[in-house]
Amino acid sequence: MPDVPYGEERFLSAYVQRSRECGEQILVAGWRLPAGTIEAFVFLLDWRGDGLKDFYRTRSLSDAEWRVLVDHNSSKGAPLVEISLGQAIALVQAALAVGRRFGRPLQREFRLENRVVERRMPAAWGAADTAPHAALIGADLAPAAVVEAYVAALHHRDYTLAAGLLAESHPLRAARPLEEVVATLWTAYRYAPRREELVRVEPTAGALRSTRAAAAVALTAFGTQVATEPGGRRVRSAVVERFDLVRVATDWRIAQIGMLA
């Protein structure tokens, strides 16, 4: 497919799944071509290893076909939320960074279309327009699901997700930029024992149970961590934590985490 000359097309819109806690997100971005049709990029972002897991560039689409494409991807497990072009670029660049960190090769179709992607989504444009992390996490997650997602984030060393699950009232947040919180978590857990992903979450004895009307709830999480000794022996130990959660608008977020004996 020949490239459209620069300046004769315009960005139309972009959407990403609210499924950051699942480890993968579909991102769709479309451009209006000079002929009036629409061409789109579809990305599958993998935050737990691959970075950019899949990519394709569509043929020219009619407006109706574009809506079908967006609606089809919105039905794949999580709804789509609209984001800006800069936010879409920032997400793609962050996914590419994950792939580099894990040593993953670039996806073949992305390599073939790299010149067009870079023209429409130049990396520098995303530097000052990051997507709001709260809008990328699944809506209406139950408190237990938030705790499970946080522990899974520690297991996968996905500190961006972990930071996004913290309420503004959490001591680590304290009105700091989220990027600073991510860096703090990375430093804190870089050499810590690896958390196992599976965790059992129960209401904390004597604490308020979560209801639709509740503004706060306390949960106890029973998990495991694995430390590697100098000789290479792996040692598993129990981790029991209390999570205090607060309702932020319609979403639950973690306000405090404390270790329990």
- What's the token pair of residue 140? 């209406």
pLDDT of residue 92: 94
Mean pLDDT in order along the chain per 10 residues (261 residues): 60 95 96 96 95 96 97 90 92 93 91 94 72 76 96 95 94 88 93 95 75 81 94 93 93 94 67
Question: How would CATH label the architecture of 140-259?
Answer: Roll (3.10)
Size (the chain), residues: 261
> Which residues on neighbouring strands pair with residue 83, listed in sequence order?
14
CA distance 203 to 30: 45
Q: Which pLDDT does position 83 carry in this prediction?
A: 93
- For residue range 105-150, list pLDDT tens digits in order: 998 999 999 999 999 999 877 555 665 666 689 988 999 999 999 9
Q: What is the pLDDT of residue 179?
A: 87
pLDDT computed for residue 6 by the predictor: 52
Comparing CA positions, the residue from 199, 52, 77, 88 lying closest to residue 138 is 77
Instruction: Please enumerate in sequence order all residues whose Cβ is within 8 A of that of 189, keeping only pairs 6 or more positions apart, or say none.
Output: 154, 157, 159
**Residue reference for tokens 């479309």:** 30
Tokens of 252: 């639950």
156 Cβ partners below 8 Å, 6+ apart? Answer: 23, 47, 48, 49, 197
Tell me, what's the pLDDT at 8? Answer: 81
DSSP 77-128: SS-EEEE-HHHHHHHHHHHHHHHHHTTPPPPHHHHHTHHHHHHHS-GGGGTT
pLDDT value of position 130:
63
Give me the pLDDT at residue 84, please.
Answer: 92
- Domain residue ranges of the chain, discontinuous segments joined by +: 10-133, 140-259
